[in-house]
Amino acid sequence: MAPHSHSAIDPRPATPDLEWVVCDICGHDDARRLATLPPPDRLLWPMHRLGASALALDGQPIHLVECRRCGLVYMNPRLTEAAIARFYDTVYAAGAAELFESDLAVQVRYYLDALSRHVAAPRPHLLDIGCGAGQLLALAQARGWRIDGAELSAYAAQHASQTLGVPVHCGDFRTMGLAPGSLDAVTLIHVLEHVRAPVDFLRDAAALLRPGGVLMFDAPNVDSAEARLARRLRQPWRGFIIEHLYYFRPALLRRLVADLGLELIAIDGYLPGVPLPNPLRAGCCARQPTTCSTPSPRLRPGGTTHPPAPSLFGRAARLRPATPILSTAADSLPIPRRACWRRSPRPSPTSDSRYPGTAGRAPTDAPPGRYPAVRARRSPPAR
Ligand SMILES: [Zn+2]
* CA 329 to ligand 1 centroid distance, Å: 14
Contact indicator for 178, 208 with CB cutoff of 8 Å: yes
Whether the per-residue pLDDT at 65 is higher than 80: the answer is yes
**What is the C-alpha to C-alpha distance for residues 101 and 164, in angstroms, rounded to an integer?**
13
C-alpha distance from residue 254 to each of 257, 261, 266 (Å)? 5, 11, 9
* CA 337 to ligand 1 centroid distance, Å: 20
* CA 34 to ligand 1 centroid distance, Å: 14
* CA 149 to ligand 1 centroid distance, Å: 31
Whether the per-residue pLDDT at 328 is higher than 70: the answer is no
Residue type at 226 in one-letter notation: E
Closest by CA to 378, choosing from 247, 256, 243, is 243
**What is the C-alpha to C-alpha distance for residues 192 and 184, in angstroms, rounded to an integer?**
20
- Mean pLDDT confidence for 165-187: 96
What per-residue string of b and e applies to 56-73 under the rule 16 or more CB within 10 Å gives b? ebeebebbbbbbbbbbbb
* CA 71 to ligand 1 centroid distance, Å: 6
What pLDDT, on a 0 to 100 scale, did the predictor assign at position 235? Answer: 82
Encode pLDDT of 129-154 as tens digits. 999 889 999 999 999 999 999 998 88
Neighbours of 349 (CB within 10 A): 10
Q: Three-class SS of residue 219?
A: strand
Query: What is the distance, to the nearest Å, from the Cα of residue 265 to the centroid of all Cα atoms in its chain?
Result: 19
What pLDDT, on a 0 to 100 scale, did the predictor assign at position 304? Answer: 37
* CA 344 to ligand 1 centroid distance, Å: 13
Q: Report pTM.
A: 0.72
Contact indicator for 126, 183 with CB cutoff of 8 Å: yes
* CA 189 to ligand 1 centroid distance, Å: 23
Encode pLDDT of 283-324 as tens digits. 889 999 997 555 444 444 443 334 444 444 433 233 333 322
List the alpha helices (DSSP H) in the chain.
46-52, 81-93, 97-105, 108-116, 135-142, 154-159, 198-206, 225-232, 250-259
What pLDDT, on a 0 to 100 scale, did the predictor assign at position 312? Answer: 44
* CA 26 to ligand 1 centroid distance, Å: 4
**What is the C-alpha to C-alpha distance for residues 353 and 208, in angstroms, rounded to an integer?**
43
Contact indicator for 73, 351 with CB cutoff of 8 Å: no
* CA 365 to ligand 1 centroid distance, Å: 16
At residue 226 the predicted structure's pLDDT band, cuts being 50, 70 and 90, is: confident
**What is the C-alpha to C-alpha distance for residues 232 and 104, in angstroms, rounded to an integer?**
31
* CA 22 to ligand 1 centroid distance, Å: 8
* CA 347 to ligand 1 centroid distance, Å: 13
Query: What is the distance, to the nearest Å, from the Cα of residue 275 to the centroid of all Cα atoms in its chain?
Result: 22
Range name among 71-75, 101-105, 145-149, 283-287 with the lowest pLDDT average: 101-105
User: Which residues make Cβ contacts (< 8 Å) with residue 103, sequence separation at least 6?
Assistant: 380, 381
**In the predicted model, what is the mean pLDDT of the chain?**
73
* CA 153 to ligand 1 centroid distance, Å: 30
* CA 164 to ligand 1 centroid distance, Å: 40
* CA 302 to ligand 1 centroid distance, Å: 10
